[in-house]
Amino acid sequence: MAGKLSVEELKRAVVDGRIDTVIAAQVDMQGRLMGKRFHAEYFVDSGWQETHSCNYLLATDMEMETVDGYRSTSWEAGYGDYTMKPDLATLREIPWLPGTALVLCDVLDHHSHLEVPHSPRAMLKRQVARLESLGLRAMLASELEFFLFRESFEAAQASGYRELTPISAYNEDYHIFQTTKEEEVMRAIRNGLNGADIPVENSKGEASPGQEEINVRYADALTMADRHVLIKNGCKEIAWSKGHAVSFMAKWSYRAAGSSSHIHQSLWSLDGRALFHDSGARHGMSALMCHYLAGLLAHADAITLFLAPSINSYKRFMAGTFAPTRAVWSMDNRTAGYRICGADTPAVRVECRVGGADLNPYLAMTALLAAGIDGIENRRELEPPFVGNAYRGQDARQIPTTLRDATAAFEQSAMLRAALGDAVVEHYVHAARWEQFEYDRRVTDWEVARGFERA
Query: Which class for 4: exposed (0-12), middle (13-18), buried (19 or more C-beta within 10 A)?
Result: middle
Percent of the chain whose predicted confidence (pLDDT) is above 70: 100
pLDDT recorded at residue 159? 96
Are the C-beta atoms of 396 and 386 separated by less than 8 Å?
yes
Query: Any idea how long the chain is?
Result: 455
pLDDT confidence bin for 127, thresholds 50/70/90: very high
Distance, in Å, from the CA atom of 213 to the CA atom of 245, rounded to the nearest integer, reads 15
**236 Cβ neighbours under 8 A, 6+ residues apart:** 153, 246
pLDDT recorded at residue 2? 82
List 83's β-bridge partners, or say none: 52, 108
Distance, in Å, from the CA atom of 317 to the CA atom of 259, rounded to the nearest integer, reads 10
What digits encode the pLDDT tens for the residues 374-412? 999 999 999 999 999 999 998 999 999 999 999 999 999
DSSP type of residue 399: P
The number of beta carbons lying within 10 Å of the beta carbon of residue 363 is: 25
Is residue 54 over pLDDT 90? yes
What digits encode the pLDDT tens for the residues 342-362? 999 999 999 999 999 999 999
Are the C-beta atoms of 399 and 326 separated by less than 8 Å?
yes
Q: Is the dihedral angle over the CA atoms 302, 305, 307, 312 positive or is it negative?
A: positive
Question: What does each C-alpha distance from 369 to 79, 235, 266, 292 come to in angstroms?
Answer: 32, 27, 10, 9
Distance, in Å, from the CA atom of 238 to the CA atom of 251, rounded to the nearest integer, reads 22
Distance, in Å, from the CA atom of 408 to the CA atom of 85, rounded to the nearest integer, reads 34
What digits encode the pLDDT tens for the residues 260-311? 999 999 999 999 999 999 999 999 999 999 999 999 999 999 999 999 999 9
Q: CA-based Rg of the chain, rounded to a whole angstrom?
A: 22
Is residue 55 over pLDDT 80? yes
Are the C-beta atoms of 23 and 5 separated by less than 8 Å?
no
3-state secondary structure of 292: helix
**172 Cβ neighbours under 8 A, 6+ residues apart:** 178, 179, 205, 206, 208, 209, 210, 211
**6 Cβ neighbours under 8 A, 6+ residues apart:** 88, 91
Domains, the chain, in order of start with CATH, read 7-116 (3.10.20.70), 120-139+267-441 (3.30.590.10), 144-259 (3.30.590.10)
Question: What's the predicted TM-score (pTM) here?
Answer: 0.97
CA geometry: angle at 365 spanning 190 and 232, to 5°? 30
| Segments in 195-322 forming alpha helices (H) | 221-241, 287-298, 300-307
pLDDT recorded at residue 243? 98
Distance, in Å, from the CA atom of 425 to the CA atom of 410, rounded to the nearest integer, reads 8
Are the C-beta atoms of 300 and 372 separated by less than 8 Å?
no
pLDDT recorded at residue 274? 97
pLDDT confidence bin for 92, thresholds 50/70/90: very high
List 274's β-bridge partners, or say none: 268
174: Cα separation from own chain's centroid? 23
Mean pLDDT, all residues of the chain: 96
Is residue 1 over pLDDT 80? no
What digits encode the pLDDT tens for the residues 29-44? 999 999 999 999 999 9
List 202's β-bridge partners, or say none: 215
**242 Cβ neighbours under 8 A, 6+ residues apart:** 184, 185, 188
